[in-house]
């Protein structure tokens, strides 16, 4: 299934994408796409519904962040070898882990807001894993059983705040709109192998990132198992699995986002996002 949330910000309703690519309203069956419906039993109940009997959403609607009630956004840094090289960093022996504020979450076509005093806003296309089953000390062999689904994620980053202002990376990662998620939550049964997906990103029609999730240093099952050693994972948690090469910081000279840029990205089987960049008020 492809699960969506649609409507004005703060007024989103749950839906699914039918076989024709149209939105069907699920609000007669569930309150939202939230942690309460991400376990296998709840998802199976939704699969059992007859799509053509669900209300068709006729009008053009905004898509919101594809899941709500996210407890934490856990990000993995330096997880593609070529990205490590372009960043001038050492290849990590263990996953590099940092957090991103949940208030940064936004819809897949909403504007990306450039913070005040920002000078080096960058892009990072990533595969997001949405947890559906609580766990800790999860065995790698069983890790995918804890996944509700996958989505496109853009880890927008203000490099000056991230790298030059001291401390950890979180303050360069957490501005409002810096975590677009969606368009859909694609349930795990539709993705045979999360390590076998094309991933890309374009700025103003120029392709900067063009890679494949098979290039990850640490694969999805390992990441889930690894993270669960240090914190419990809960339904609705989002794991952003790292970005491939082609970020603005790695260009010679570097290229950063400015107001008026069009930002587009996508992952095979998971849909695409499209944003414009705007200055903060």
Residue 1: closest CA among 59, 67, 94, 58: 67
How would residue 147 be classed by pLDDT, with cut points 50, 70 and 90? very high
How would residue 31 be classed by pLDDT, with cut points 50, 70 and 90? very high
Q: What average pLDDT does the chain have?
A: 96
Q: Looking at the chain, list the stretches that DSSP marks H as alpha helix, in order from N- to C-terminal side.
A: 40-47, 81-86, 159-163, 220-227
- Position 195 scores a pLDDT of 95
Residue 74: closest CA among 40, 97, 107: 97
The tens digit of pLDDT for each residue in 253-280 reads: 999 999 999 999 999 999 999 999 999 9
- Position 279 scores a pLDDT of 97
- Tell whether the model's pLDDT for residue 72 goes beyond 90: yes
How would residue 184 be classed by pLDDT, with cut points 50, 70 and 90? very high
Are the C-beta atoms of 150 and 143 separated by less than 8 Å?
A: no
Residue 184: closest CA among 147, 154, 151: 151
- Position 83 scores a pLDDT of 83
Sign of the C-alpha dihedral computed for residues 8, 124, 260 and 59 taken in this order: negative
**What is the pLDDT averaged over residues 54-80?**
96
- Position 123 scores a pLDDT of 98
Between CA 243 and CA 241 the distance in angstroms is 7
- Position 222 scores a pLDDT of 98
The tens digit of pLDDT for each residue in 150-164 reads: 999 999 999 999 988
Are the C-beta atoms of 227 and 239 separated by less than 8 Å?
A: yes
**What is the pLDDT averaged over residues 67-80?**
97
Question: How many residues in the chain?
Answer: 281
- Position 163 scores a pLDDT of 87
- Tell whether the model's pLDDT for residue 43 goes beyond 90: yes
Q: What is the dihedral of CA 123, 65, 214, 187, to 10 degrees?
A: 180
Which domains, from first to last, does the chain contain? 2-53 (no CATH), 73-279 (3.90.850.10)
In this prediction the pTM is 0.97
Are the C-beta atoms of 135 and 228 separated by less than 8 Å?
A: yes
- Tell whether the model's pLDDT for residue 170 goes beyond 90: yes
The tens digit of pLDDT for each residue in 212-266 reads: 999 999 999 999 999 999 999 999 999 999 999 999 999 999 999 999 999 999 9
């Amino acid at each position: 299934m492809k699960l969506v949330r649609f409507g004005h910000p703060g007024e989103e309703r749950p839906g699914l994408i039918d076989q024709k690519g149209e939105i069907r309203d699920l609000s007669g069956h569930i309150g939202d796409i939230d942690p309460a419906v991400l376990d296998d039993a709840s998802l199976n109940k939704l699969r059992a519904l007859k799509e053509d009997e669900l209300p068709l959403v006729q009008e053009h609607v905004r898509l919101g962040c594809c899941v709500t009630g996210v407890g934490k956004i856990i990000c993995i840094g330096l997880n593609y070898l070529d990205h490590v090289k372009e960043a001038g960093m050492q290849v990590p022996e263990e996953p590099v882990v940092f957090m991103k504020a949940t208030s940064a979450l936004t819809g897949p076509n909403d504007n990306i807001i450039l913070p005040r005093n920002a000078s080096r806003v960058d892009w990072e296309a990533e595969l997001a894993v949405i947890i559906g089953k609580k766990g800790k000390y999860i065995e790698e062999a069983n890790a995918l059983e804890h996944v509700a689904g996958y989505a496109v994620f853009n880890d927008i980053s203000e490099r000056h705040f991230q790298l030059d202002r001291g401390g950890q990376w979180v303050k360069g990662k957490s501005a409002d709109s810096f975590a677009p998620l969606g368009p859909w939550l694609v349930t795990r049964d539709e993705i045979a192998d999360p390590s076998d997906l094309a991933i890309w990103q374009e700025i103003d029609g120029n392709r900067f990132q063009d890679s494949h999730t098979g290039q990850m240093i640490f694969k999805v099952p390992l990441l889930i198992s690894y993270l669960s050693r240090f914190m419990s994972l809960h339904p609705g948690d989002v794991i952003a699995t790292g970005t491939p090469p082609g970020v603005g910081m790695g260009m010679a000279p570097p290229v950063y986002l400015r107001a008026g840029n069009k930002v587009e990205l996508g992952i095979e089987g998971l849909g695409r996002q499209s944003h414009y960049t705007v200055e903060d008020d």
